[in-house]
Amino acid sequence: MEDAYARSVTEVLDFFGVDPTKGLNDSQVAQHARLYGKNVLPQEKRAPFWKLVLKQFDDLLVKILIASAVISFILALINGETGLTAFLEPSVILMILAANAAVGVITESNAEKALEELRAYQADIATVLRNGSFSILPATELVPGDIIEVAVGCKIPADMRMIEMLSSQLRVDQAILTGESCSVEKELESTTAMNAVYQDKTNILFSGTVVVAGRARAVVVGVGTNTAMGSIRDSMMQTEDEVTPLKKKLDEFGTFLAKVIAGICVLVWIVNIGHFRDPSHGGFLLGAIHYFKIAVALAVAAIPEGLPAVVTTCLALGTKRMARLNAIVRSLPSVETLGCTTVICSDKTGTLTTNMMSVSKVCVVQSVQHGSVIAEYNVSGTTYAPEGIIFDSSGMQLEFPAQLPCLLHIAMCSALCNESVLQYNPDKGNYEKIGESTEVALRVLAEKVGLPGFDSMPSSLNMLSNHERASYCNHYWADQFKKISVVDFTRDRKMMSVLCSRNQMQMMFSKGAPESIISRCTNILCNDSGSTVPLTDSIRAELELRFQSYAGKETLRCLALAMKRIPLGQQILSCDDEKDLTFIGLVGMLDPPRDEVRNAMLSCMTAGIRVIVVTGDNKSTAESLCQKIGAFDHMVDLTGRSYTASEFEELPPLQQTLALQRMALFTRVEPSHKRMLVEALQHQNEVVAMTGDGVNDAPALKKADIGIAMGSGTAVAKSASDMVLADDNFATIVAAVAEGRAIYNNTKQFIRYMISSNIGEVVCIFVAAVLGIPDTLAPVQLLWVNLVTDGLPATAIGFNKQDSDVMKAKPRKMHEAVVTGWLFFRYLVIGAYVGLATIAGFIWWFVYSNEGPKLPYHELMNFDSCSTRETTYPCSIFDDRHPSTVSMTVLVVVEMFNALNNLSENQSLIVIPPWSNMWLVASIILTMLLHILILYVHPLSVLFSVVPLSWAEWTVVLYLSFPVIIIDEVLKYFSRNSSGLRFNFRFRRPDLLPKRELRDK
């Protein structure tokens, strides 16, 4: 029944055909079970394991690599190769792909946990009226129409419509669903609000929420997926994980690269068709196979096999650094996504605030001797911890607050007129509440005021254990006064009272809404002398004015405290006793903002990141908080900056679009609104980070580009998020954004490094094929260079230091290419030099080396016809492994120098020297040691088809390699100083990677 909140109790009961005094009978239960289904959230069908595995290989570059591995293996068998050499290259490729697939499968498996965690919020049992009698049944057996009884501490087992109040009031904590900072009072009357959100449905008890005060009966109106919890589950199931900006760019680059590689491979094969019949190949078909093998080697050279591993490693390093900042990353790609975040949609309760009600102001009457004087005290401390200081209006600390009569009696009343519990949880290391948050705030105030008559009181309290300290003063007053009778809070009186006795004296303490308490007071307690004097109209007006200021401008939740002497011997307290009270004081409390949030807001504004506060709370309370933390940027007129969900939905589409661009506060929201907000912002090309801690936040957390859950939040929110804030602090997000930006910059650096290296390998093989000289590098040598000698320095580039101005730049755009046109030109130049230097080393050995044959260059170009001609040298010279070893070593060394170029995109090595990143220096040393190892250790040298080099050959290697530093320094100089030249060098399109919208046409 979807509109039960708008129907009367009788209409709802008639709809289900249930008698409220007897409940459903067995036949009705069976009928309703068939009609409405079970009260469980069904398990989702998981994708089979084999599908998850296959999904990891659904990538064009991966497919090319698999094809290369298979073809390489087939060609090896055709050529008669057996043993290790035939299997080495395809085995290495497949091992890399298997490792990447394993990481992907694990990540996707973790994503399913959020939906499982949701079931933990379902109640286990319920007190149900059936066949005229109450019994306790499993909550899963409930059906619509069941009559349920709930009381304090009960978890609501299904969505239910209130039908009968069994106490003066019923209050429910529904923060996990709506994000409201206070518990909500429930009532029997039907709701008349149009487009009612969860907060407006005051007669509905929502599944998974908890009763904190009172007792009542209700009829079940929704079970399983037809509950508020069920709608959240459906929303989460419909939400697909967003691909991160870096992943999008890498995918686009991979597709672009794959097409280029395929084109070059075909081109190389076609260019050499004339050589298919060369005698050295033994026939046209074998010649075609030979050059096809070269094309496969070219594919292996062009594809950066180590790129996924290096990206993963760099992101993993970032997660370790972020963990030290209390940001626990659950999804590696989200580390980078933080760097381009443009909007942070922040939950208010628990993220910007502490989610712990605390008394911040106390107002008492100081004296009436020379006209009424109102005294105001400020109270520090924003959590449930009994630690805080009371200051007077001038900012001076009160050494012994309990010596002041009004503060002393406020502490008594707060401790005695109270049904809550404050306790210390050693497992979590913090103080926790049981009951109403406002009542717990009064208990904490009593602890901060302390006890009278002990000069050593403050220091003595500090010596107690946390468990003893939690309620030491409250327990003292409970021991001093014996509770005799209680008059519970009711909606019409808006107050509660408790009768206590002590030393042959009976006293009634009352607390409640200021308008109710002050109207019943005839006297006031003076704070200077402790005397009781009559309450005049002028004092009453001044107190009401102060209350209006607290509740209005400062949006504090106010309670007034009062007391009254009761004749000795009276055992029962009634509402008639609640008159002629003596006013003690007024307390103002709030869910206070975190201390660090204001500076974090300023950092976001400086970094070009907009913050939108999203909350289920009412508009005025949220606006007051936003002004305190600077979310409105000191604006007085909030028109167009603050909207409730219903106000926003009533706007025409065009005005909604404009509102999204200026909005800073979104109030009275429910889960669907949060998800809608994220989607709307994403349609405006914003990169959205969403924070939250409740079950209600889970769909939006999953939909956002990066979902950020609170460490103290629900398991559902954590499982649906990409990152968890261990300290629940909004300021931690800002530090994480800076880290994300630095990681992206480093990611770009090593991607460029690997691209330029691979371009060099492609140039080397392509030029060798075009010139008609022997194979410069064997496929296994290319794999060694790509995996080991490229991989280690590329990973070390991830340790480049964060720029000092990283949070002063505006967020990068979603469509910004990883490699722009000018940069690609730069790395084409570098790559071309790498490839030509590699070829030069190969040719040098044949033509100029004293250890080589010193052949004329044209002989080298016509090596294919060696066996058919008279030569002064043996044809076996072309099978010598020296030239390919020189080429491979040149390739390795030139890439080590190129790694140094990538310490910074545009800064010279003179400004940022190599030792600024000692990890890079160490990786270069380790890489060279590994390369020397395969050159000079016999089994390895055979495996990689290399031989030891002489000192003369090493000298040539260094001569050919070092100029890459000089070339890049020149290009960096132009990047820094000649923007005009940079634009002249750009391609027609401003970036290399194909635009998604162009590809989709």
With beta carbons less than 8 A apart as the criterion, state whether 148 and 126 touch: yes
Question: Distances in Å between the alpha carbon of 390 and those of 302, 374, 397, 583?
Answer: 70, 16, 6, 21
Strand blocks (E) in 609-752: 610-614, 642-644, 665-667, 688-692, 706-710, 723-725
Report which DSSP code applies to 787. Answer: I
With beta carbons less than 8 A apart as the criterion, state whether 213 and 438 touch: no
What is d(CA 534, CA 314) in angstroms, rounded to the nearest whole number?
73
The owner of tokens 């106010």 is 558
How are beta strands 557-566 and 170-173 bridged, if at all?
unpaired
User: Which residues contact residue 874 at a Cβ distance below 8 angstroms, ignoring those fewer than 6 apart?
Assistant: none
Report which DSSP code applies to 789. Answer: I
User: Which residues contact residue 427 at a Cβ distance below 8 angstroms, ignoring those fewer than 6 apart?
Assistant: none
User: Which residues contact residue 711 at a Cβ distance below 8 angstroms, ignoring those fewer than 6 apart?
Assistant: 326, 328, 718, 724, 725, 726, 727, 728
Instruction: Mark whether 880 is an active-site residue.
Output: no
Q: What is the H or E stretch that residue 278 is in?
A: none
Question: Mapping DSSP to helix (H, G, I), strand (E, B) and coil, where does residue 183 land?
Answer: coil
Among residues 59, 159, 278, 347, which one is catalytic?
Answer: 347
Q: Supply the DSSP string of 843-907, one letter for each residue.
A: HHHHHT-TTS----HHHHHTGGGGGGS--SS-GGGGG-SHHHHHHHHHHHHHHHHHHHHTT-SSS
Report which DSSP code applies to 390. Answer: E
The owner of tokens 């020379």 is 370
Q: Which of 313, 351, 315, 309 is nearest to 334 (CA)?
A: 315
What is d(CA 963, CA 952) in angstroms, rounded to the nearest whole number?
18
With beta carbons less than 8 A apart as the criterion, state whether 803 and 748 touch: no
Question: Distances in Å between the alpha carbon of 956 and those of 848, 889, 952, 953?
Answer: 11, 10, 7, 5
Q: Starting at the edge strand that comes first in sequence, how are the strands of the sheet with 159-165 ordered?
A: 133-138, 125-130, 147-151, 215-222, 159-165, 204-205
Is the four-CA dihedral 762, 767, 769, 773 of positive or negative sign? negative
How are beta strands 170-173 and 210-213 bridged, if at all?
antiparallel
Number of H helices, E strands in the chain: 38, 29
What is d(CA 920, CA 911) in angstroms, rounded to the nearest whole number?
16
Return the active site residues: 347
